[in-house]
């Protein structure tokens, strides 16, 4: 969906305060570069990279800015389609807690994630997962081919997206109109909270299980997008 000037400031922290492993578990806590540790400007913390979703659209402008003495990432999109991605390898069974803060300047008029052609959100937090793509049915394989042709990127085994919706009720799970491998969960809905920082805490393990009906595989990346 095209939009003229939708901006947001998001994410102060990701995967903070993850569950503590029992002593016998060797896996280390996940490492994710925090925007709050950077300095205002176009340079992003090490580990974050741009991911363009369409060859035919320009990239969203992401940069670090000062917000009341704290460094955050600000995104401005004008008919653009790209996100920021941080590769990571996490077992959501061992580290199920996901925390972040986000702020949106306004909602997107006409956006409706239950309708394919109107799917849009002023802010998204995106998790991708590893898995056996041989389990996909034909429509998912076909969609993956279309994604590869449009963006040059491979469709992950599964993608879970936390969104700020215009109307759908909180905790609603919305399936992507084109594939069963992408599910959205409504974390915020409507104008409540617009213009101020809102802190969120999610149980990634439980959310994935509820959305996809199976135990979650390993997380391969964390991303944000407007």
pTM: 0.87
pLDDT at 219 exceeding the cut of 50:
yes
Measure the N-to-C terminal CA separation of the chain; round to a whole number of Å: 11
Q: Quote the radius of gyration of the chain (alpha carbons, Å).
A: 17
| Domain carrying residue 116 | 6-225
pLDDT of residue 56: 62
| 39-53, 71-85, 91-105, 149-163: the lowest-pLDDT one | 71-85
Mean pLDDT computed over every residue of the chain: 85
Asked whether residue 91 is domain-assigned, the answer is: yes
Q: Is 194 exposed, middle or buried (0-12, 13-18, 19+ CB in 10 A)?
A: middle
Extended beta strands in 19-67, E state:
48-52, 61-67
Q: Which two tokens stand for residue 104?
A: 């949106």
Identify which has the larger pLDDT, 190 or 32.
190
Task: Give per-residue pLDDT as tens, 173-202.
Answer: 999 999 999 999 999 999 999 999 999 999
26: its two tokens: 């060797």
The verdict on residue 1 lying in a domain is no
Tell me the three state secondary structure of residue 150: helix
Domain count, the chain: 1
Closest C-alpha to 50, from 31, 16, 67, 73: 73
The pLDDT, as a whole number, for residue 159 is 98
| Residue 146 included in any domain | yes
Six-digit token string for 140: 């998912």
In a domain, 140, yes or no: yes
pLDDT band, very low/low/confident/very high, at 27 (cuts 50, 70, 90): low
Q: What pLDDT does residue 8 have?
A: 34
């Amino acid at each position: 969906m095209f939009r003229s000037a939708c901006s947001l400031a998001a994410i102060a922290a990701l995967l903070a305060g993850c569950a503590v492993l029992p002593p016998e578990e060797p896996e280390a806590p996940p490492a994710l570069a925090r925007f709050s540790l950077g300095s205002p400007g176009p340079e992003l913390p090490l580990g974050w990279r741009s991911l363009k979703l369409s060859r035919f659209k320009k990239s969203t402008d992401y940069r670090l800015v000062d917000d009341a003495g704290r460094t955050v990432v600000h995104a401005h999109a004008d008919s653009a389609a790209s996100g920021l991605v941080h590769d990571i390898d996490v077992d959501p069974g061992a580290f199920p807690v996901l925390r972040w803060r986000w702020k949106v300047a306004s909602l997107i008029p006409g956006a409706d994630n239950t309708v394919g052609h109107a799917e849009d959100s002023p802010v998204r937090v995106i998790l991708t997962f590893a898995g056996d793509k041989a389990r996909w049915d034909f429509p998912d394989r076909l969609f993956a081919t279309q994604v590869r042709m449009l963006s040059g990127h491979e469709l992950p085994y599964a993608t879970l997206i936390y969104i700020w919706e215009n109307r759908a009720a909180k905790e609603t799970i919305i399936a992507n109109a084109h594939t069963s491998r992408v599910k959205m969960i409504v974390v915020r809905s409507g104008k409540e909270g617009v213009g101020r920082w809102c802190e969120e805490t999610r149980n990634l393990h439980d959310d994935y299980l509820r959305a996809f009906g199976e135990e979650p595989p390993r997380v391969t990346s964390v991303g944000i997008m407007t």
